[in-house]
Amino acid sequence: MINSISILFVTRDPDLAGQIIGRIRYRGHAVRPKQAGNVRDLARLLQSHRFDALVLIDSNLDIGLAEVSEALHRAGRQTPVVLVSDHGQEQSLNAIDSGVFAVVGRSTDDLAAVMTLRAVDHLNKGREVTHLRTLLREADRRYLLMLDTSRYPIACFQQGIATYANEVWRDFLEMDLGESLDQLTLNDLVVPEQQEDFEEILGELRNLSENAETCETLTLRTRQGRSVEADLLLASAMINGEPSIIVHVSVAGEDPALPGSGGFAIPPASDSGHQKQLGGAAEQGQPRQQPGRKDPPSSDESPAAGSKTGAGSRSAPRPDDAASERKFLLDVDAMQAETARSGRSLGLLVFAPDALQPGQGARSEVPGNELLEFLKGAFADPARTFRLREGQIGVLVPDSPRDQLEKRIDAALKAAAGLSIQLGDGSAIGGALSCGAVLTDDSGPEAEALLEQARAALAEARKGGGSQSRFHAAPGAAGADPQADLAWKSRIEQAVRDDRLRLLYQPIVSLQGEDVPRYNVFLRLTGEDGEVFEPQDFLPPAERTGTAAPLDRWVIQQAIKVLAGELKRDDRTVFFLKLSQGSLDGEPVVDWLRRSLDRHKVPGSNVVVEFREATLLTQADSAAAVAGGLGEMGVGLCIGDFGNGLEPFGILDQFDAAFIRLDGSFVSRLNQDPETQGTVRELTATARSRGRQVIMPMVEDADTLTAVFSMEVNLVQGYFVQPPSEQLDFDFASGL
């Protein structure tokens, strides 16, 4: 039964969203809603929140289903989507085919509520399956760890091929240090003259129940060709969801069986269930720890690695890559489950040297430990690093917003370029790496599917020339182009170097008779051919590529310098500086602003910093710290794009903002829509009652100005007042 659900509404129609919420609450469910009205808000919310459903109301919205699907994919979310739309049957069917959970009409808010609840129930059942799968694999993990610490030789076979062997088994069968378990089959265990009998025994065991077991005395053949008569306890089991045969060995009539083996004695068989039979065998075989053995392996090594730690004078071999990959998959399941608590996604990365071509899987051809240790250093705790097949390295990075993960991957690839990677045969290759990546949460696909997605992305990175990374792209997904983003990043960095950024100023004028000079500061970027780009062109890729914060710092430095000159003419002048989410992620904007204010001797009260409402909501902790620092300096705070949230004034309980700038969507509907007029009047009245000043942006004509004036809005700006200009020459004394 669903009790409390978290829903993300992608809409510019908060009234319809409110009706759907009311219908859901009528059915006895608490709702924790959030709202996004554009791609950037959507990406930020998905990055930091785990939603049970997403409701897309596509009327009067710049976001389409393709953009929503891409945003979900980039955030590693499998959130079901309910589309509220009045499109025709064909478009609705296309939406269903593309993966939408349900499509309902705008006039059927009750049906939208029902389908949203069903979508949530569907997602929760999937999460339950994921949770149960994780519990099953965790039981397998604990079981294998228990077998690994046994003083008896124990191995696990699936479809006749070894998938696990403890250290004592490798020593007992005299396996070479570099020999992979993949080369060991069940028939290899016994001498040729007994193989037919052994196959008959195995056939009978496979035909019995899962918990069946049998004990046989056979002549085993070590990997060095020696024959040893031994007692074999054979038991059927399910390991990692696959039918398996567990082989437990003790040497008949000899104690100890082999030098250094510690002596083997077959434990009595149990007549009870699978867990007791197999677990009991291991427990009875573990009355004391074998002399010379170390503790169970660390989380970055497979319990099925077959590594030697204290047998004779041989040095410890590298863990078996196939077994380490199985451990990797187990950890994917466990860490996927953890995303339910954190609300953030898990990054699954696969690295491989560009010089190591697919198919070079022989142990003499794959890298030694240097590459593994390098990536451990590049992705420190709580990230976890594993060897995979064919010389690949897997990395699991919890709590991984995509933009931050991309930066870490890029830094690792750059640092690796100077490495010399030693191969198992003694040769060396260059350190150029490629990386395939995928993001997931607890509603994502199984670990094996995620690994395949990351490997497919790795293949794309190599196909693109290598020394780069690729994230798995959902089939048919549209949206941001990584290559286009990189091009914008290069263009922005070059514009900074070539001084092709400039500031424009637009007056913010009082409708209440004040003549305080207030200017909104805008940023423009000029291309190499003279084309001028608007913020909506370059800021989204700037935020995705980590170049938004440097742009903000440039704006602060240049704007404060200009403001210092203006204060000599009128010491009341105020600049409104719009800053991005990037200024909350890295070095705090407070430090940059303080240094600029001190350098130019500008009082903090002459500056207002504006953050968008969605930025403050999705980065609440860091935003609160920034707001506190601004307040200490006397700098004002403005909340932009205000009023489209489901509970807009709730944010004022967290942030003491003197100004709120209404969302521009209100202006486009203001003259034709009485409901919008009522909403603006209500927002303005509530804000004024709380001592906040309301700014109405995008005032383009006299009719809009007249309507805004009648609603008692405090301040206005827009092309009707004055277009953005490089000159600060508006006559505030004359007003409008």
DSSP classification of residue 314: P
Q: What is the pLDDT of residue 517?
A: 97
Beta bridge partners of 662: 642
The distance in angstroms from the start CA to the end CA of the chain is 59
Domain ranges in the chain are: 4-129, 150-292, 340-473, 548-716
**What is the rounded CA–CA span in Å between residue 624 and residue 657?**
11
Region 4-129: CATH code = 3.40.50.2300
Task: For the beta carbon of residue 127, count every other beta carbon within 10 angstroms.
Answer: 19
pLDDT of the residue at 288: 30
Token pair, residue 359, equals 């198919």
In the predicted model, residues of the chain with pLDDT beneath 50 are 1, 253-319, 361-364, 476-479, 586
- Both tokens of 75, joined, read 């955030």
Q: Which amino acid is at 193?
A: E
Q: If you count them, how many residues does the chain have? A: 736
| 382 upstream amide cis, omega within 30 of 0 | yes
Query: What CA–CA distance (Å, rounded) separates 246 from 485?
Result: 52
Which pLDDT does position 393 carry in this prediction?
Answer: 92
Residue 177: per-residue pLDDT = 64
The per-residue pLDDT for 694 is 96
* pLDDT > 70: percent of the chain: 84
Q: How many CB atoms lie within 10 A of CB 667?
A: 21
Class in CATH terms, 150-292: alpha beta
30-36 sheet: strands from edge to edge = 30-36, 4-10, 53-57, 81-84, 102-104
How wide is the angle at C-alpha 91 spanned by C-alphas 68 and 93, nearest 5°? Answer: 95
- Whole-number pLDDT of residue 280: 32
Task: Count other Cβ atoms within 10 Å, centred on residue 297.
Answer: 20
Fold of 548-716: TIM Barrel (3.20.20)
Spatial neighbors of 214 by CB under 8 A, at least 6 apart, are 201, 204, 205, 233, 234
What topology does CATH give the domain 340-473?
Answer: Alpha-Beta Plaits (3.30.70)
| pLDDT of the residue at 240 | 64
Residue (of 88, 82, 84) closest to 102 by Cα position: 82
Instruction: Please tell me whether residue 609 adopts helix, strand or coil conformation.
Output: strand
DSSP letter assigned to residue 708: H
- pLDDT score recorded for residue 639: 94
Residue 181 DSSP code: G
Give pLDDT, residue 613: 83
Say yes or no: do domains 150-292 and 340-473 share a fold: no
CA–CA gap between residue 108 and residue 95 (Å, rounded): 18
Q: Are strands 30-36 and 346-353 parallel, antiparallel or unpaired?
A: unpaired
